[in-house]
Amino acid sequence: MILMMPIIQLIVIPLAADYEIKQISISVVDQDHSPYSQKLVHKLTASGYFQLVEYTQSYAQASKTVNNGNTDLILTIPQHFERDLIKSNKAQLHLAADAVNGVRAGLGTAYAAQMIGDFNREVREEWMLLPKFNEIPQIEITSANWFNQHFDYHLFMVPGILAILVTMVGCFLTALNIVAEKEVGTIEQINVSPIKKYEFILGKLIPFWVLGMVSITLGMVFAFLIFRIIPVGSYLTIYAFSAVYLLGVLGIGLLISTFADTQQQATLFSFFCMMVFILLGGLYTPIESMPEWAQWLTRINPPAYFIKVIRAVFIKGSSFSDLIPDFLAMIGFAILFNALAVFNYRKRSA
């Protein structure tokens, strides 16, 4: 049960939370009706990213379609588009996006702009074949995506979710397990015995540590079975980091259990922690684009390190020595949280 939940997440999230957007609905307001305007529209629809929902002459009509939610983007081709393009070598187009869904709007305009740029170049090339009447300086941007050549979203998300999975197993289970003992009353039978605090805490840590390692192994198996993702780097590096990271996460769970008295409290608090961990962990949003203060917070957020490391190993194939500062940070977290937990665990209530 507890292993199934994160694995389902591992499978579902990368498939659903895909930022690559296809099938953007577009309305074209063509007030020119020229061969060139036709050509441009054809180019957009042929790309596969856009779906022409409407081809009209009236902007008012198109904006009505936007209001109905039936289209994402309006491309307006003004009158004399072709004439201006040929005569003055300059023409205007207008793009309007329904920005209710910001991601869709942003990506839609970006795709369209890129295609219009392409179109522009093609038109020019056509003219170049004709007698040259002017020298147009051309700057072309070429880009190369390192490591994740095809910008595969799954390759980016799966290792990150794997990291969150380990965090959840470690943090939730430990916290809930000990608090459950408080609720049932067995913890009292333990507290009345001469057992040492560190013995008790080790007794709780070891089984959950093993469980965490099992869950990361399972996670990697599923990552391969479903997404065909295999780490470029070494498994040993992944396990070394997981081992230390898990200790830290378990420490957080233990710490929560020392001040929560009921499972509700523990769940609520763990949930709160998980939200902060995920949002400040760089799973969805890149840490580099966060405001200064939030970036500072990510530096004290253990999962941020682990997400970074596991992505680096999976995608870039970073070696252990590349990641030594992160390893040291994780050791620091492990010591800190466990020390706090041992310190805060009281066999006798005050």
Partner 1 sequence: MAQPVIHTHQLTRKFGDFVAVNAISFDVQPGEIFGFLGANGAGKTTAMRILCGLLSPTSGEATVAGFDVYRQNEEIKKHIGYMSQKFSLYENLTVRENIQFFGGIYGLSRQELKEKTNNLIERVGLHDEADKLVGSLPLGWKQKISFSVAILHRPKIVFLDEPTGGVDPITRRQFWDMIYDAAHEGITLFVTTHYMDEAEYCDRVSIMVDGAIAALDTPAGLKKQFNATNMDEVFLQLARGAKRSDG
**Residues within the interface to partner 1 (CB under 8 A):** 184-186, 188-195, 347-350
* 3-state SS, residue 280: coil
Rounded to the nearest whole angstrom, what is the least distance from the CB of residue 350 to partner 1 in the complex? 6
- Write the DSSP symbol of residue 193: S
- DSSP output for 226-238: HH----SS-HHHH
Distance CA 178, CA 180 (A): 5
Rounded to the nearest whole angstrom, what is the least distance from the CB of residue 213 to partner 1 in the complex? 23
Nearest to 252 by CA among 168, 166, 338: 338
Rounded to the nearest whole angstrom, what is the least distance from the CB of residue 312 to partner 1 in the complex? 41
Residue 42, token pair as written in the block: 């054809």
Residues 6+ positions from 31 with CB-CB distance below 8 Å: 57, 76, 77, 78, 79, 81
57, 31 in Cβ contact below 8 A?
A: yes
Rounded to the nearest whole angstrom, what is the least distance from the CB of residue 185 to partner 1 in the complex? 4
Rounded to the nearest whole angstrom, what is the least distance from the CB of residue 192 to partner 1 in the complex? 4
Please identify, using beta-carbon distances, which residue of 8 and 184 lies nearer to partner 1. 184
Residue 116, token pair as written in the block: 């219009």
Rounded to the nearest whole angstrom, what is the least distance from the CB of residue 183 to partner 1 in the complex? 10
Please identify, using beta-carbon distances, which residue of 8 and 192 lies nearer to partner 1. 192
Sort strands 24-30 and 73-77 into parallel, antiparallel or unpaired.
parallel
Please identify, using beta-carbon distances, which residue of 66 and 179 lies nearer to partner 1. 179
Q: Residue 71's CB: how many other CB atoms inside 10 A?
A: 24
Please identify, using beta-carbon distances, which residue of 89 and 186 lies nearer to partner 1. 186
Distance CA 148, CA 155 (A): 8
Distance CA 191, CA 187 (A): 6
Please identify, using beta-carbon distances, which residue of 12 and 202 lies nearer to partner 1. 202
Rounded to the nearest whole angstrom, what is the least distance from the CB of residue 205 to partner 1 in the complex? 17
Please identify, using beta-carbon distances, which residue of 99 and 195 lies nearer to partner 1. 195
Q: What is the enclosing helix (H) or strand (E) of 24?
A: strand 24-30
Please identify, using beta-carbon distances, which residue of 18 and 188 lies nearer to partner 1. 188
